[in-house]
Amino acid sequence: MDYVLLVLGLVLLIVGLLGCILPIIPGPPLSYGGIILLHLTKFGDFSTNFLVLFAILAVVVTVLDYFVPIWGTRKFGGTKYGSWGATIGVILGLFFFPPIGLIIMPFIGAVVGESIKGSDFEASLKAGLGSFFGFLLGTGLKLITSLIMTFYFFKEWL
């Protein structure tokens, strides 16, 4: 049974890493699932503190991934209209055209929101770029988190 759990853990790690890039798949929670499966075998023995810390990290990074594009919109000069547009874009992107929708819909939403406010095209585009850079930042945070979990998985296993 240990080998079955080990293989399932490896599969979760791989899917978790892919999920960091494909927005529809929750990467860090899946990577964490791989850590848990290894912990349940004779190959791994993680401390309770380690497991709790990485559970919290997986949840926080996953939740942040939905808010960082909105933060990016604000950071690049977007107003509440752009932030609302990016928020609506994230929500629409979850349901329509995944996974590409999660990449472009916050951008489009921020641009549309700023345009509704009456901002010129350049300011609207800048807010949209902030949303896109926020998306990239969120993706990077997820990827780093999942890579760290992958490192500890292999460190413990081997």
Average pLDDT, the chain: 88
Average pLDDT over residues 12-25: 86
Res. 43: pLDDT tops 80: yes
Q: Are 61 and 22 in contact (CB under 8 A)?
A: no
CA–CA separation, 59 vs 103, rounded Å? 20
Res. 3: pLDDT tops 90: yes
pLDDT confidence bin for 121, thresholds 50/70/90: confident
- How far, in Å, are 25, 78, 101 from residue 97 at the CA level? 14, 25, 5
Digit-coded pLDDT (tens) for 44-93: 899 999 999 999 999 999 999 888 877 887 888 888 888 788 778 878 88
Which pLDDT belongs to residue 100? Answer: 77
Tell me what percent of the residues of the chain surpass a pLDDT of 90: 41
The tokens for 154 are: 């292999």
Structural domain boundaries enclosing 13: 2-157
Please report where in the chains the tokens 């009456």 appear, as a residue: 118
Tell me the whole-structure pTM to 2 decimals: 0.78
Dihedral Cα 55, 61, 67, 69, nearest 10 deg: -160
Q: Are 149 and 107 in contact (CB under 8 A)?
A: no
Q: How many other C-beta atoms lie within 10 A of the C-beta of residue 136? A: 13
State how many domains the chain has: 1
Average pLDDT over residues 130-137: 83
Which pLDDT belongs to residue 36? Answer: 96
Dihedral Cα 102, 8, 41, 32, nearest 10 deg: 0
- How far, in Å, are 62, 63, 99, 116, 128 from residue 84 at the CA level? 20, 17, 20, 11, 12
The tokens for 6 are: 């080990």
